[in-house]
Structure 1
Amino acid sequence: MAMQQRTERINVGIFAHVDAGKTTTTEHILYESGRTRALGSVDAGTAVTDSLEVERQRGISVRAALASFSWKGVQVNLVDTPGHVDFLSEVERSLRVMDCAVLVLSAVEGVQAQSEMIWNALRKLGIPTLIFVNKMDRTGANPQAVLKQVRTYLSDAIIPVQRPLGSEQSYTGAADLWSEPGDSAERTGLLETLAERDERLLDLYMSGEPAELAVWKSHLQAETAAGRLYPLVYGAAAKGLGIRELLDAMIDYLPRAGGDPEQPVSGIVYNIQRDKSMGRMAYVRLYEGTIRNRDAVRIHTQDVQAKVTQIRKVEGGKAEDVGELAAGDIAVLYGLAGVRIGDVLGSPDAIPQEAKLAVPLLTVRVFWPADTDDQKVIAALQELADEDPLLDAQWLPDERELHIKVMGPIQLEVLGSVLAERYGLKVTFGQPSVIYQETPAQAGEGYVAYLMPKPCWAILRFKIEPLPRGSGLVYESVVRSSDLLPQYQSETARRVPEALQQGLRGWEVTDLKVTLVEGNHHVWHTHPLDFAVATPMGLMDGLARTGTKLLEPVLAVRIVVPEENGGRVMNDLVQMRGSFEPPVLQGGRMVIEGRLPLATSLDYPVTLSSFTKGRSTFTSFFAGYEECPPDVSAERTRRGVNPLDQAKYILSVRNALQG
């Protein structure tokens, strides 16, 4: 019986390309649902979900905010995500905990590079999705063109369930195709699209029987919940048009959250923020079980227990203590002191896979005034790296340097203001430099016999083979445990990824298969850590024999410029070692799509904007690593002693291990 009493719940992420009007849509949803009494505005800096000072100043949502409300008896957790590509890691983490999504597109700009990228991630994870075409009241709004684009770039299974009334400034809303009287071309289109995809409905359609619309609609609901069809609705969020209908569509088409509150706890921390008075706030999606105030929870990934002091639902700056968090719900937990993003609470069994979109491509050195305590800056950035693990803050004590990884310049601007606002620290950043990678130039072998100075004994032989781009590192051992004991084999396996963090030129080595083909230990002389010392020497010996090729990050770009600037842009792309498809003309504008090395194009968006006098758009996203031409070289200063200098390396590692 307990299951009957449970509130129906939807966890929906709201996603969009920057400036498609996503935060405005969220504000109106909260207003219409009665959650907020006054409308916030992004432009006026009063948006409820933008709580950071820097968000209010810049008018962009940096943090994925969580808002909860009820609509027609269904509890909705709405996760608003940042639309800017520099904050993609935040989008990626939100995706993981969503059961369904609303993708906001602009009726003027249509499908932009990032909308496409988010769409691909939603499809990869099989997340049911609604499309909301916003800004229908703007000059240049063209729903037919947008529909054509979504079916070309996103999916031909996207189906409008409304008919727009009026256009541009005379837009007054949209009629629901299921309930409007009479037959319209749009309704016929809707039924035909459904019939094309289902034998039973096709028979019904061909029989000429009067359509029982409820049957068709329930089919669309089931197919949407299964992530196979995607309803599309229209609106103009800034005027509040289409918001109630969007809420109805969410309740109509999107699936309810599952999970059993009686099962053992299984949840994940997908976001961390700080509360000035309460400390660390852990945003948790619970898949199974129930957590109550003062419960001790096991943080599975760290193997520690932590006590929950409060469970709150947050509605933009305001929070209420709800006392418990049950399966299928999302809330903020307080009291979990050492918790990090990605930590699993309880059992990991019920937690879905992750979509990997964000790859930081730039590394930046952090500088601070001489009278500032180094440790304060290091501690602050470590804490921020707990909130965004991709920052990967690295302190190099010998060089007294602090380095972080970032996605782009806006992220640096935000980091600078967070460090000033939250920690009172004034920092500056060096010039961002591109993160390259290395890969073996050919197959080969690496060998090490670590037998001196005694006591030690470790012999290893590795086969190294290059793999296709994007393969990462694959490791296996074909050595019998009688030749090399399992504990020595696992020590070797553990050290391989570490050893490949720095190749011949100092960059991480990737896209290779490493196979341990020979290994020996000595009954008397071997110490378990001998294999920790030997593995990097064996691998570097192998890389010195195979040689390595340099790989650079490449962006997929979409550039829209006035026609008269097209020639210059194509010339610029060639100069930057880019490649592009034949350009497409769209009403006086030229659309150029192609690929561009990040290293040559770091400043190009600014250059483009200045010579087109702001009448251009440059959208890009990471498309993978590709081989650099032979004339491009990039070295990174090695940290620590190079394992190729074996005598010096052995001494330094032994000292470190003993220390």
Structure 2
Amino acid sequence: MNLGILAHVDAGKTSLTERLLHRAGVVDELGSVDDGSTLTDSLALERRRGITIKSAVVSFALDDVTVNLIDTPGHPDFIAEVERVLSVLDGAVLVVSAVEGVQAQTRVLMRTLRRLAVPTLVFVNKVDRRGADTARVRAEIGRKLTPGAIALGTVRSPGTRGARAVPYAPDDARFRDRLAESLAERDDALLAAYVTDDRAALTYARLRAALAEQTRRAETHPVLFGSAITGTGLDALADAVKELLPRATGSPEGPLAGTVFKVERGAAGEKVAYARLYSGTLRVRDRVPFGGRAEPGKVTAVSVFEQGTAVRREAAVAGQIARLQGLGDVRIGDVLGDVRDVPERHVPRHHFAPPTLETVVEPRRPGDRGALHTALTRLAEQDPLIGLRQDPLRQEVSVKLYGEVQKEVIEATLAEEFGVGVDFRETTVLCVERVVGTGAHVEVIDTDPNPFLATVGLRVEPAPPGSGVAFRLGVELGSMPYAFFAAIEETVRETLLQGLRGWEVSDCLVSLTRCGYWPRQSHAHAVFDKSMSSTTGDFRLLTPLVLMEALRAAGTRVHEPVHRFRLTVPADVFGTLLPALGRLGAEPHAPVAHGSAYVLDGLVPAARVHELGQLLPGLTRGEGELESAFERYEPVRGAPPARPRTDHSPLDRKEYVQRVTRRTQPG
């Protein structure tokens, strides 16, 4: 079973992982997050900061089940690391703090787990901590996370060191009635028995079987209580994992199918890939097709996870997580074998919002520019959403970010692992451009002002938000060599990374409406004559000019990222908060009274979230609480911002043609 542990930061996720490993005998002594002695937080930076930054795989035996447990980061700045893990899970445990309750990141994670139909248990941790309120948190789970929440136990003396998690007994009539009522909502046979009060059909064994079935279908989410520090409730959690969550399926005899969810560098600098196998057997020295590349890669070493660590083996089989060496060009998200053999739910996709911040990274020593580029490229291998953006014109490199903590981690990693000291410029918000209308443009071969031996016609039109960029052929595929079509599509996607105002253009449909070329020409003795023959270069150089003219005709509008926020503030300071929200461009909804406090939801531009967090303590005597998470992109009010381009801009036709033709001329 491949099991993920997920949570909002500081809910006790890594401590829970450590307790499960100790219970299974994998570690002799419990590690401590505060002391930096946990097994899964192996990076020096993780131990020093006391947070999980990279996902880690450990294993333990649960009777006859080998559990590969994946500990994931809880801080929202590292949500990309969680995203890569989700597609390889058989089940998950979502950890909620009994003190803080359901938090912003908890809701984001649960929404995604439910959307992907990942079977999930909810574990309410820290029941022994002062301020623990298990009744409140249980109600929050049902209200904010899932209507299918079913508590399988209760807690005696919550909020004290002697707090004890107590599972409900099979002969507890009130529990059985609640269980039957909840399960009957999704089971017609149980509903009929419940309505007619057919006790013979509502045995505890029948209810427990229905609970397991609905949990595995991700329709019901059992809730358990306990403490990773004291160990109470851990036996019940382990039993629930074994009984209620599904195990890995797939035949070792089938065709090879797997996905890569993590890439790191070994001691000698070699790439090491972590892959979940869904079908088949992967052996040392096998030549493996991966990532759609023309040439397969040769696996030189295979490790699988047993009793805590990765152990060298000659082969890995379906269901296991394999640690592979030898695939030098492997990237996160690559499929091993044929993607058609990977179950639909496990095909890697983007589940969370992309990074919405960007910053320029500068080496402190000018001579480190080359080393910085190499180091950032390696970091991008491990985290593709870093999204390096090269600006050769200004000799700058930018990285995409989720937040300021991620910036601190990148700085420390570059210094400690690569010996490169860096500074960051001010973090800016990443906007996007969306197409407003429909626009088209055509450039014909051997016709002014087209200087290239190619004909390209493109039409651009808007597509639904979140759909990405689609490219469609409006001409016959056999009308010219396939390499020319491929060159046009690749260039379209590359060009759309910088729109009319320099931002990435998203959510549009680009159609190729016209094409043409000159066949290969040669003189006597078969000497190739470039001056009379079209090449892929002609199509790559012409396409940006055509696409930008089509975009001009269609028009684009700049959109900025907007966060949904939730503020909890004392009632007596509420009046001073509203003017501040107005100055930040926030759109608050109607407040809700909650005891002596107000809870206020609303939307605020992502660019102002950090400022809101800085203002809040002063406005609320330090008692205000802020949660925020990306919601969507909204049109920018006022003058739209522009971003400097990093290429020879096809928006300036004369300058563009002069530069690219000079670059391609011999000598």
Asked if Structure 1 and Structure 2 have the same fold, meaning a TM-score greater than 0.5 normalized by the shorter chain, the answer is yes
Query: Which whole-Å CA distance do the structure 2 matches of 1:318 and 1:476 have between them?
Result: 47
Q: Which amino acid aligns with 1:242?
A: G
Alpha-carbon distance between aligned partners in 2 of 1:163 and 1:454, rounded to the nearest angstrom: 75
Alignment of 1:424-439 (within 5 A): 424-439=419-434
1:517 paired residue among 506, 513, 520: 513
Change (3 A) 1:526 1:154: farther
Where does residue 191 of structure 1 map in the other structure? 180
1:54 aligned residue: 45
1:402-413 alignment runs, 5 A limit:
402-413=397-408
In terms of mean alpha carbon deviation, does 54-63 or 466-475 score higher?
A: 466-475
Give the total of aligned pairs. Answer: 647
2:634 is aligned, of 626, 631, 634, to: 626
Of the candidates 113, 116, 131, which is equivalent to residue 122 of structure 2?
A: 131
Q: Determine helix, strand or coil for the equivalent of 1:270.
A: strand
Specify which of 647, 651, 654 is matched with residue 654 of structure 2: 647
Q: Does the aligned pair in 2 maintain the 1:272–1:340 contact within 8 Å?
A: yes
CA distance in 2, matches of 1:38, 1:97: 29
**C-alpha contact (below 8 Å) 2:291/2:330 kept by paired residues:** no
| CA drift at 1:171 | 5.7
Structure 1 stretch displaced more, 118-127 or 165-174 = 165-174
Please give the secondary structure, in 2, of the residue aligned with 1:224. helix
Provide the rounded CA distance (Å) in 2 between the counterparts of 1:348 and 1:461: 33
Matches within 5 A, 1:478-517: 478-480=474-476, 487-517=483-513
2:229 aligns with 238
Partner of 2:525: none
- Cα gap change, 1:182/1:339 in structure 2, threshold over 3 Å: closer, same or farther? closer
Distance change >3 Å, CA 43–CA 437, structure 1 → 2: same
Deviation at 1:69, TM superposition (A): 0.3
Q: Equivalent pairs: percent with the same residue?
A: 37
2:585 pairs with 1:580: no
The separation in 2 between residues aligned to 1:310 and 1:516, in whole angstroms, is: 45
Deviations 1:601-643, CA, capped at 9 Å, x for gaps: 33332332455455333222221211111x2331111222222
Change (3 A) 1:474 1:325: same
What is aligned with 1:601? 609
**Which one of the candidate residues 410, 413, 436 is aligned to 1:441?**
436
Alignment partner, residue 78 of structure 1 = 69
Aligned to 1:338: 329
Q: What corresponds to 2:21 in structure 1? A: 30
Classify 1:588/1:23 alpha carbon distance in 2 versus 1 (closer, same or farther; 3 Å).
farther
C-alpha distance in 1 between matches for 2:454 and 2:143: 58
TM-score under structure 2 length normalisation: 0.91
Q: Distance in 2 between matches of 1:288 and 1:491?
A: 35
Q: How many Å separate the matches in 2 of 1:32 and 1:654?
A: 68
**Residue 10 of structure 2: aligned partner:** 19
Where do 1:73-472 residues align within 5 Å?
Answer: 73-169=64-160, 172-177=163-168, 179-183=169-173, 185-205=174-194, 206-210=196-200, 211-277=202-268, 279-313=270-304, 319-351=310-342, 352-353=346-347, 354-370=349-365, 372-449=367-444, 451=446, 456-472=452-468
- What is the rounded CA distance, in whole Å, between the counterparts of 1:159 and 1:443 in structure 2? 51
Matched residue, 1:533:
541
The whole-number CA distance in structure 2 between the counterparts of 1:273 and 1:617 is 37
Q: What letter corresponds to residue 253 of structure 1 in structure 2?
A: L
Cα distance between partner residues in 1 of 2:32 and 2:615: 31
Question: Within 2, Cα distance between the matches of 1:506 and 1:471?
Answer: 20
Letter in 2 for 1:249: A
The alignment's C-alpha RMSD in Å is 2.5
Q: Which moved more, 1:486-495 or 1:640-649?
A: 486-495
Closer, same or farther: CA 277–561 of 1 in aligned 2, 3 Å? farther
Name which of structure 1's ranges 407-416 and 210-219 shifts more when overlaid on structure 2. 210-219
- For residues 24 and 96 of structure 1, the distance between their equivalents in structure 2, rounded to whole angstroms, comes to 24
Q: Which runs of 5+ in 1 are unaligned?
A: 1-9
**Deviation digits for residues 463-494 of structure 1 (CA, Å, limit 9, x no counterpart):** 33234433332332323457666654443233
Please state whether the residue corresponding to 1:439 is helix, strand or coil.
Answer: strand
Query: How far apart, in 1, do the equivalents of 2:476 and 2:370 lie?
Result: 47
Scaled by the length of structure 1, what TM-score is found? 0.92
CA contact (8 A) 1:460 1:538 kept: yes
Which one of 565, 578, 591 corresponds to residue 557 of structure 1? 565
Structure 2 counterpart of 1:373, one-letter code: D
Partner AA of 1:600 in structure 2: R
* Secondary structure of 2:367's aligned partner: coil
Secondary structure (helix, strand or coil) at the match of 1:595 reads strand
* Structure 2 residues without counterparts, runs of 5 or longer: 522-531
Once residues 379 and 307 of structure 2 are traced to their aligned partners in structure 1, the CA distance between those partners, rounded to angstroms, is 21
Asked whether the 8 Å contact 1:15–1:81 carries over to 2, the reply is yes
Over 3 Å counting, the alpha-carbon distance change for 1:570 and 1:382 in structure 2 is: same
